[in-house]
Chain A
Amino acid sequence: METTYSSLNKDRLIELFHREQKSMTELATPLVNRIRQHALSRFEKNGFPSKQLENWRFTDLTPLLNTEFFFDFSNKSRSMDVEKIFTCDVYDLDTFSITLLNGWFVYKSAPLTKLDNGTIIGSLAKAMEVYPELVDQYFGKAAKTDVYELAALNTAFVQDGLFIYVPDGVTLEKPVQLINIVNADHPVFLQPRHLIIVGKGSKITLVHCDHSLTHNVSFTNILTEIFAEDNAVVDHYKIQNKGRNSALITNTFIRQKKSSSVYSNMITLNGGFTKNILDVSLPEPNCRSEHFGLYLVDSNQHVDNQVYIDHIAPDNYSNQLFKGILDDEARAVFSGKVMVRRHAQHTVAHQNNKNILLTDDAKANTQPHLEIYADDVKCSHGATVGQLDPEAMFYLRSRGLCERTARQLMMIAFAGEVVQKISIQALQERIQHLVEKRLKGELSICDQCMLHCNSKEPTAFNIDMSKI
């Protein structure tokens, strides 16, 4: 059943919840439904985040909600042949690939696959039916719905998304790739929910691609919970290439058990409005947690990265490096906070945000922040906002490079520092290629789309020489 509203606000969503409650709750476990009810009451209390909040000071959701959105409470796309409409540029990697279309799981044979090594990959909705104890053991344990308004909203409406369970002592040789596609001929409001559980000493690489195949307005509010058990190693890559009219909010909650390592890398190539919220809890010692981000934005695109790393236990290492290049009137926001609690001795935490503005109209707001209550720690933070170094530009030109080539070379080098953090060689090369295409003005959201709708979005990041 589809429902539409001329514009969205808290009251309308709550009304919608009560009307559609049955179709949501009948697929979920009783525990998930109790968590859902709690989240709903939080959303009822807090509503959408307002600009009065510190973490939303420079990012305004209001104009994005002013649209006639359609909601879909049943899976209409599950047996669609996605390859007919889309091929991912990272696709030719040898991956275990999964597609979500408009927030719903698309499958050819079965909604849930159990591999020989015990790994379960598939639809969260199906997992709640087949493995309810497993889902109940983890669901909602990392997502802080009391603190994050949009995490509460996602949890209240949870239906489907990706479920991965890797049992203890299993290394998944192939990366798991999740392709999240938005394609609808009307504005859609989507809230996929992912639950990733990585057992003791296990290893997984997750590649998460967000695409939109439509020029229509869409609003996606994704929530991902990642649990890394003792000694687990998780590599989490996100590649975002979405249209000008899309709003994408990602809420990622990571909980690390002792001696685990989690690496994440968020690459925002295109997107009308993007907000990535990352919340990492380190309640046990000897963990590594490294988070990198790259955003390449132009026209009036808006990208906001908000990171919170909570050092609760001693002897943990965390590192953040977020870099961005902004063209035209693009806007970037970074707010990173590292919390070092009283018992978190010997914490090592680094945080850095670097921005290059190509025009006078581009704007970056950056707020690195450390809050330290332990006395024996090593922490650093830094932020820069600047232009391409004119001395370096002249140096390159004095060797015969034209201004355009010199700029591209320097931008690719600037972005390279983040791309080089990708540990899988083949993936690194693919992403480097995408980043280079993007910075040369050759990549639009239409490149991978097979629909040929004849309304190609301009391949921006074109350097307008008249502005220099």
Chain B
Amino acid sequence: MNEKKLKARDFITIGIFTAILWVVQMIIMYLGFLSPFVVAGYSVLIPIATGIPMMLYYARIEKFGMLTITSIIVAILLFIFGMGFLGAPICIVSGIIADLIAKSGKYKSWKKTVISCGVFNLWVSASYLPLVFTADSYQQSLLEGGYDAAFVDTLFTLVTPATYPVIILLCFVCGVIGAFIGKAVVRKNFEKAGIV
């Protein structure tokens, strides 16, 4: 691709990959319906599961703006699904930074792509925000709802404002791991088939 600017075709690709990312993360979110432990595991599961489509996505476009647009769309969707006013900006900011990092490596440098993927996945931490910032009322409502006190305690020692940096770090690390797994799958399948 010689042209640096995104064209109609790229916008279509962005739409498609954002749809895939969203569906994959929705499925994991649905799993979270079954058990609160899955909720606590979002920061591990989502970055790793989306690693495969993400790596393919990086290989398909290689132009500035792809991650920014994706993060804006994800932010809108997060907002609609109640992850709120704080989640959306985090999502967009991490998207733009990830885009800039990847751009600095001209979307070719593997190291920069990995870091960019890690940064991009910081948006996952946004889904914990309601848990963190409304922790007290949330905890109380869980207890009122008849939850086991010991369980609620465990959940809220895992997810508190104090551990929030750890969650952010976890998102980044798992994003990096996801990138490596994704790259391996892309190499094994898509590069071998000559698609990328």
Task: Indicate, yes or no, whether A interacts with B.
Answer: no
Residues of A that sit less than 8 Å from B by CB: none
Residues of B that sit less than 8 Å from A by CB: none
